[in-house]
Amino acid sequence: MSIAEPRHQRPLSPANGQTASSSVRIAHGDGLHARPSVRFTQVAKRFSAEIEVALDPSSGPWADAKSIMKVMGLKAPQGALLHVRACGPDARHALDALVALVAHGLDAAAPYDDVTPSPSGQPHA
């Protein structure tokens, strides 16, 4: 029986389509606490791409951006540099939406709502 490599140490699989990565400074005054984390994961779930976030891209841990518990577990404070990477058919759109969301203080009126969702148009769990 082999033990699977922890997710935060495995790179996203480029076999799933395009890959994209970016970094954005957290503008929200409280960082990624409960409500901003919920909004972040809600937007991430709109895309079919695998999406991960980390505070330190070299050592991780990389957290599933669609998991509220994983995102909150980062305990990312205001001013921290959040690294985002995505892999899948809508990776670039997902990254654009999440970077816009964080850059605008995780505000419900941020321009990420105009970004095209996944090809199926359905939310993803």
Q: Report the catalytic residues.
A: 33
DSSP string across 79-106:
T-EEEEEEESTTHHHHHHHHHHHHHTTT
Distance between CA 107 and CA 67 in Å, rounded?
19
> Running DSSP on this structure, what letter comes out for residue 120?
T
